[in-house]
Structure 1
Amino acid sequence: MKYVIGIDLGTSSVKTVLVNKQGDIVGEATASYPLIQERPGYSEQDPEEWVKGTLGCLKELLDSKQAAAEDIEGVSFSGQMHGLVLLDEQNQVLRNAILWNDTRTTKECREIEAKLGDSLLEITRNAALEGFTLPKILWVQKHEPELFAKAARFVLPKDYLRYRMTGQVAMEISDAAGTLLLNVPEGAWSEEITAAFGLPAGFCPPLVGSTEDTGTVLPEFAQQSGLSPNTRVFGGGADNACGAVGAGIVRKGDALCSIGTSGVVLTYEEDKSKDFGGKVHFFNHAHPGAFYAMGVTLAAGYSLSWFKDSLAPELGFNELLAPVGSLPPGADGLLFTPYLVGERTPHADSVIRGSFIGLSGTHRREHLARAVMEGITFSLAESLALFREAGIEVDRMISIGGGAKNPVWLQMQADIFGIPVVSLKNEQGPAMGAAMMAAVGSGWFASLKDCADQFIGYAQTYEPVPANVETYSRLFKLYQQVYAATRSLNEGLQEFRG
């Protein structure tokens, strides 16, 4: 039996999965590592922790004897996006990595907008946000000039891990799309942007594809991990691209709804001319020549966790949500906006905060719970509406994460989105996506689409109920008015916030 390994390098931990040719996961291992948060808004990590965690996981997989080292044909990666890893001429790390959730770079974002103007969206298809990599580069350039003078190149987190595994420096394209340095439609580094900010020649490393062979395992890494030095290593993908692949989003008409702490709606696209004016993200997909549009709700699952912890800390989620299914759509005239930490799509607004609208003395806890679930889904539906306005057809939604664990919520998604919603039999997310890239790279399948047909199993399909669709369509129009109606109120409340 032959196997591949998928490595998911996340923000708080690394997860590895061992997968056979039938798509069965026969082994798993996880290792956590710390964040470094020296000041408010700062979020960093020591890249060596990623290497140590990955080595530990690989050793655990090999020690389990589920597979012999020589039977593991390929390894690939999913990685947390946007994190800045600066390397010198000898490819030594110059400082801690600055992560995606670091927010110190607001001034640098404004500088990017001022210098590039309309060219920014034309080239990168994305707005300048603190999470992206270019603002982090400019921050180091400005605040740590002596260190930056030693920087020969940069990589992203999973690309640094791949370098340590193979000795080859490269950046995979779906991850490069989140740097604000890539010409996304053309799939090449933008010389206009690198020149505008004085970045040295070769600062952006060579680009590779997600299923592209990037070499074999270095002897030293093989000895430490237990892998064979003959095991091939493939490009991998950004965590959202890998999550999409792991859910089978590799065809036009399919979209992904993922509800974790934040929420994502993501759709597959092959037309590189799509332009959303920066209202949603538009990135290169792991599938060659394809793209994905993505909208983000900052406080999706977090809104429900906040509600439970604040109003029903003694209950589990199943007990809290059990009465919700007996209520009709609309929670008896109650709306909730999930802006607890600001919002990303379609309102890039750090000041806005959440609201319950229509609260009355007849509402009970289950009404509020249903309103929270509906409000999260309405927020995600705003991203779907932007896709449709841009001419992207979405025929069905694959739902994963916390929102896929509750049948009432899955039906609610179908009714609010107005399309069938499908759950997965075995949800493994980005780690499975990474394993699928290794499987295709190893020659098991001709494409990620073929691999998805073998590896991805679908569970139940929730069809939209016409009467509920009509009700939610009217409620959605009211929901969309709440942002504008409360924006100035939230600006006024800023001075009173702790």
Structure 2
Amino acid sequence: MVYVIGIDGGTESVRATVFDLAGRRIASASSAYPTQFSAGARAEQDPESWWSALGIAVRRVVEEAGVGIHDVAAICATTTCCTVVALDEAVRPLRPAILWMDVRAGKEADAVLATGDPALVLNGAGQGPVSAEWMIPKALWLARHEPEIFEAAHTICEYQDFMNWRLTGRRTASLNNASIRWHYRDDAGGWPDSLLDTLNLSELRKKWPAEVLPPGAAIGTLTARAADHLGLAETVLVLQGGADALIGMIGLAVARPGQLALITGSSHLQFAVGDRTTSVAGLWGTYSNAVYPGRTILEGGQTSTGSIVAWLRRLMGDGFDLDALNLEAGRLEPGADGLLVLDHFQGNRTPYTDPLARGAITGLSLHHTGAHLFRATLEGIGFGTRAILDRMAEAGCGAAEITAGGGATRSPLWLQIHADTSGLPVVVPEVAEAPSLGAAVLAAHGSGHFASIDDGIAAMVRTGRRIEPIAENVDRYQSIYQRYVELYPALKPLREVVPA
């Protein structure tokens, strides 16, 4: 038997999953790491904790799967995107990584947009927005606020690149990450040199990995040190991955123009596949060849989704019983008895791209319970998804259904709410861990077992559940959604901005 391992380096943990070439999930194991939060919507992690967790997760999953180390042909990693790392020449971190959800670089994002550089065509035809989450604003923040770190850095890259460098000894960047967050244009000149020059950031270009590889390309085999760390053979091939959510499209079999993926986790991301280049206000892209050769991707996203549920868990403490809350909230009518949640707890990605936006809970009364708050939170996230899908439809990228993967798929209530708030059926493949399966498809394709990514999808991804919207609920959510839409502009003038 031949096996591959899909690695998903997420916000809270790294997960390793063993698959066979039919896409069957043999075993999965994870290892957690902490995040340090501070004022100004800052969030950081220690890259060494990723590396330690990776070794623990891979060793565990190989043991649990009961496979021999020489039966594992290849591995491929997906990771959080825009988690920026400053490294010395020995691949050691010079400071904690600036996590993807960290939006300290709001002023730097404004400076990037103000250049008006042609590279910004990916952001609303050059009109913006530019997100504080992205690579260049964060690197500019480092250059301005921690110049000693910026100057000392041999490499400034992402979680993905750090992992692959440690695994293979080869310093590469992913075409996927670079296309969607570094303003790299595979179809138009490559690196955004003029943008960097205008920002007095030309040194960054020298600190980025010079090699850019597409998803599924071979990086190399494991070094002796990496093989020992993972408990695998040195013959294991490492394939280029990318951003967890976009590689998750492969695991969801969302590969053809007209299809739409909803990737859920700590955040939600929405991706529409196309066959032409376009640019839409309030959305990101399109990105050429970032996942599939010859196809484009249009993107929307919500910064806080599963992370809001995690916040609610911390807030409620022992009173948070997920199974009980799903049951109790499922008995409530749509609208949670007048409770409404704005899902901007860590800023808004799209369609507003406002890093200073904050969440809100309105309509509270002494009648409301934890179940009301739980349901209203899921509904608010559903409304945030609908706002993005509405913008995509206006741009001619509407879809007839949503294909979903990730944490939210474990909650039938949340899936039904997504179907009802959007008015669209929700499809869930048999294997819901889309980034891990997508990485496994890339590992199988890149190691020569399938001629193309499409062939790998056909062999390894299978359809699972289909959740139809409930017509009565769709109608009831229409008016509630209008209240949701009005909430952000109404609260914007009232918010207090915490200094960075």
Instruction: Mark yes or no: TM-score above 0.5.
Output: yes
Aligned residue in 2 for 1:8: 8
Aligned residue in 1 for 2:23: 23
Structure 1 residues 458 and 312: alpha-carbon distance in aligned structure 2, compared to 1, 3 A threshold? farther
Q: 2:381 & 2:472 partners in 1: Cα distance?
A: 21
Letter aligned with residue 215 of structure 1: G
Aligned residue in 2 for 1:354: 360
Q: 1:269 & 1:202 partners in 2: Cα distance?
A: 33
Task: Determine helix, strand or coil for the equivalent of 2:256.
Answer: coil
Q: 1:65 & 1:327 partners in 2: Cα distance?
A: 41
Could you list the runs of 5+ residues in structure 2 that have no partner in the other structure?
none
Aligned residue in 2 for 1:85: 85
Aligned residue in 1 for 2:399: 394
Q: Is the 8 A contact 1:16 1:29 kept in 2?
A: yes
Aligned residue in 2 for 1:159: 161
Aligned residue in 1 for 2:280: 276
Task: Determine helix, strand or coil for the equivalent of 2:170.
Answer: coil
Q: Is the 8 A contact 1:124 1:180 kept in 2?
A: no
Task: Determine helix, strand or coil for the equivalent of 2:457.
Answer: helix
Q: Single out whichever of 17-26 and 365-374 deviates more from structure 2.
A: 365-374
Structure 1 residues 48 and 373: alpha-carbon distance in aligned structure 2, compared to 1, 3 A threshold? closer
Task: For residue 380 of structure 1, report the CA deviation from its aligned partner.
Answer: 0.8
Q: 1:314 & 1:421 partners in 2: Cα distance?
A: 30
Matched, 1:199 2:202: yes
Could you list the runs of 5+ residues in structure 1 that have no partner in the other structure?
none
One of 463, 478, 481 as aligned partner of 1:473: 478
Aligned pairs (5 A) from 1:341-380:
341-349=346-354, 350-357=356-363, 369-380=374-385
Q: 1:236 & 1:370 partners in 2: Cα distance?
A: 35
Aligned residue in 1 for 2:52: 52
Q: Deviations over 1:253-278 (max 9, x none)?
A: 3323344343333322332x221234
Aligned pairs (5 A) from 1:264-413:
264-271=269-276, 273-280=277-284, 282-283=286-287, 285-304=290-309, 314=319, 316-331=321-336, 335-349=340-354, 350-357=356-363, 369-413=374-418
Q: Is the 8 A contact 1:81 1:178 kept in 2?
A: no
Task: For residue 76 of structure 1, report the CA deviation from its aligned partner.
Answer: 0.8
One of 463, 466, 477 as aligned partner of 1:461: 466
Structure 1 residues 184 and 334: alpha-carbon distance in aligned structure 2, compared to 1, 3 A threshold? farther
CA-based RMSD: 3.3
Letter aligned with residue 53 of structure 1: A
Q: Deviations over 1:370-403 (max 9, x none)?
A: 4443322111100101111111131211233453
Q: 1:366 & 1:70 partners in 2: Cα distance?
A: 49
Aligned residue in 1 for 2:435: 430
Letter aligned with residue 120 of structure 2: L
Task: For residue 175 of structure 1, report the CA deviation from its aligned partner.
Answer: 1.2
Matched, 1:117 2:116: yes
Q: Is the 8 A contact 1:121 1:278 kept in 2?
A: no
Q: Is the 8 A contact 2:119 2:183 kept in 1?
A: no
Q: Deviations over 1:292-326 (max 9, x none)?
A: 33323333344455567667963523323434445
Q: Is the 8 A contact 1:5 1:74 kept in 2?
A: yes
Q: 1:368 & 1:382 partners in 2: Cα distance?
A: 21
Task: For residue 163 of structure 1, report the CA deviation from its aligned partner.
Answer: 1.4
TM-score, scaled to structure 2: 0.86
Q: 2:497 & 2:220 partners in 1: Cα distance?
A: 55
Letter aligned with residue 118 of structure 2: S
Structure 1 residues 121 and 304: alpha-carbon distance in aligned structure 2, compared to 1, 3 A threshold? same
Q: Among the aligned pairs, what percent are the same residue?
A: 29
Q: Is the 8 A contact 2:339 2:361 kept in 1?
A: no
Q: Is the 8 A contact 1:213 1:441 kept in 2?
A: yes
Q: 2:331 & 2:89 partners in 1: Cα distance?
A: 63
Instruction: Name which one, 1 or 2, has greater alpha-carbon Rg.
Output: 1
Letter aligned with residue 73 of structure 2: E
